Amino acid sequence: MRQLYPALRVCDTTDVYTDLLADGADHAVLMNVITTVDGRTTIENRSHGIGTATDHVLMQQIRAGADAVLFGVGTIRREGVSPGVPVKHEAARIAANRRAQPLSVVLGGRDSVELRGRLTEIGPDELVIFLPQGADPVPLEGSATVYIAESGRPNPADVVRILYERHGVRRLLLEGGPSIYTSFLQSGLVDQIFWTIAPKVSADASGAGMLAGNGHNAVPRGAALQTIFEDEGELYLRYRLPKR
């Protein structure tokens, strides 16, 4: 693996994103996304398989520096995610005043949340679900801590506030899908973007892109490039966005 920016050097995956493991008082929202060269986040409706083993390792290191990992209900339904980190990261997390495993957070949309995979096993103290106004929380009782929006869908700013005030989440990591990225970016809440560009071309115009929706009210924001790493043609970019 090589670092290409800001300095050129040969490195190991264990040298990448190590600053995230440190204990920090900063309140931040991170976004981690992978796309093909032609900008698709899914191939045959799934993101699994786009990235290499190296991307998976770096994803786990980004997670290791987060207090909570958030997914949209569509990602849960398509991917069957497993939101934890390897046991080898737990000691560093505890030393940085974090729980051994990140809190799992699901943001519901119009559809009900159906728990799948590891989410069925982790319990109500480790899983938080935000539902739209009028949703029925009964099917999730005993499985998760549930919050229902006062009106419409869960508001990203309310989600960040509740997670901080009630669950001590200082650093929230977004892992999809496009509607989640869009809503948090349009709310001005995203502080850093970790973007993997896989050396693949999907050539599928129907495949999902990084964002969803029309975005007509979005205000452009600058982004400062922090680092670029490369491994076997796969690029790992890190950007910092200005605070609003």
CATH numbers and ranges of domains, the chain: 2-215+223-240 (3.40.430.10)
Is 235 buried (19+), middle (13-18) or exposed (0-12) by CB count in 10 A?
middle
| Complete DSSP assignment for 25-82 | ---EEEEEEEE-TTS-S-BTTB-TTSS-HHHHHHHHHHHHT-SEEEEEHHHHHHH---
pLDDT in tens, the chain (244 residues): 999 999 999 999 999 999 998 866 678 999 999 999 998 887 776 777 788 999 999 999 999 999 999 998 877 777 667 778 999 999 999 999 999 999 999 998 766 677 777 787 888 899 999 999 988 888 888 899 999 999 989 999 999 999 999 999 999 999 988 999 999 999 999 999 999 999 999 887 767 788 886 655 666 788 999 999 999 999 999 999 987 6
The token pair that represents 153 in the structure block = 């869908």
Contacts of 76 (CB under 8 A, 6+ apart): 106, 113, 114, 115, 116, 119
Q: What residue type is 175 in one-letter code?
A: E
Q: What is the pLDDT of residue 15?
A: 92
Cβ contact 159:149 at 8 Å: no
